[in-house]
Amino acid sequence: MINITFASCNEFPAIQPGDAIVARALEKHGVKTIAAPWNGPQEPFESVDAVVIRSAWDYPAAPTAFEAWLKKIESGPLAINSLALMRWNLSKRYLLSLAEKGAPLPPSRLVEPTAASIAAAMDELGLTQAVVKPEYGSTSSGLSVVAREDDDGIDRAAQNLAMPGIVQPLISEITTKGETSFIFFDGDFSHAVTKRPKSGEIRCQYEFGGSTKAIEPPQWAIKEASRIITMLPEHPIYARIDAILLDDTMQLMEVELIEPELFFNYCPEAADQFAAVIMKRI
């Protein structure tokens, strides 16, 4: 019997619905899968064949502790994705390194969590409106939309950051076209969904009223997302590229390599593809 632990978190310790589809796919290969919080008892991560980081959704609030946990499991079972790749993906500074390689990132500036730093970045980029997001974050936590003339709003954005962050232009198409997520396994494109925010929002997640549907993205977009995959420091076992698609170009938002939602409920057959990729590594 092969044993795999899906790393979860204390708030959501159980296998999540989408990952349950993967667990059933792995069961066909003779795999027993359990879930255990990364920040809970460590016995479930010992004497198993692999640890797959899946719903460790609280790590952005404790990045130092999470990085220490990654180091703790370094001498243990196979980690999926690799520990080095996850460490690289922890801080949103990775986006700037991808931009240097030619990734289609919107103009971006690192900022300190102060109103002066945010305002200076907006001036440098010539922005009247901007999105401010923290260096460590997920599900839009700590994200703010600010106007340059709104000093109080910039003050609130700095308080929301509570850590260094990134300033980028507000891409208006997020409200009409939404954000497209491209899912890859072992470097191969699998499926895609488009997430659209509710009226008056830019956050696409369902907890903020967003909606999701499976799509067949244009070939040029798949090719561009695949090109971004090749820019990563090493080959990922699984990856999610989030981007806003314009007429014939895309704007990269995130590359998710640690615990992304992979939308198996919109493409259940992809779970078999993911399971096969995992089994190749064990």
Confidence category of residue 139, pLDDT binned at 50, 70, 90: low
pLDDT digits (tens, 9 = 90+) for 209-242: 557 899 999 999 999 999 999 999 999 999 999 9
What is the spatial distance between Cα 65 and Cα 42, in angstroms, rounded to a whole number? 14
- pLDDT surpasses 90 at 142: no
| Closest residue by Cα to residue 50 from 18, 23, 89, 20 | 23
pTM: 0.93
Q: Could you tell me the CA-to-CA distances from 71 to 41, 42, 66, 84, 233 in Å, in that order?
A: 16, 13, 9, 10, 19
**Domain 94-103+173-257: CATH superfamily, name plus number:** ATP-grasp fold, B domain (3.30.470.20)
Q: Where in the chain is the domain with CATH 3.30.470.20?
A: 94-103+173-257
- pLDDT surpasses 60 at 203: no
| The CATH classification of domain 2-81, taken from the options 3.40.50.880, 3.40.50.1860, 1.50.10.10, 3.40.50.150 | 3.40.50.880
**CB 44 within 8 Å of CB 4:** no
Q: Where in the chain is the domain with CATH 3.30.1490?
A: 109-169
pLDDT digits (tens, 9 = 90+) for 146-185: 999 999 999 999 999 989 999 999 998 888 889 999 999 9
**CB 86 within 8 Å of CB 53:** yes
Q: What percent of the chain has pLDDT over 90?
A: 85
Q: Where in the chain is the domain with CATH 3.40.50.880?
A: 2-81
Q: What is the CATH code of the structural domain delimited by 109-169?
A: 3.30.1490
What is the spatial distance between Cα 216 and Cα 214, in angstroms, rounded to a whole number? 7
pLDDT of residue 251: 97
| Closest residue by Cα to residue 111 from 125, 132, 90, 89 | 132
The mean pLDDT of 27-35, rounded to a whole number, is: 97
Q: Which two tokens stand for residue 213?
A: 């549907």
- Using a 10 angstrom Cβ sphere, with 0-12 exposed, 13-18 middle and 19 or more buried, the burial of residue 126 is exposed
The mean pLDDT of 98-108, rounded to a whole number, is: 97
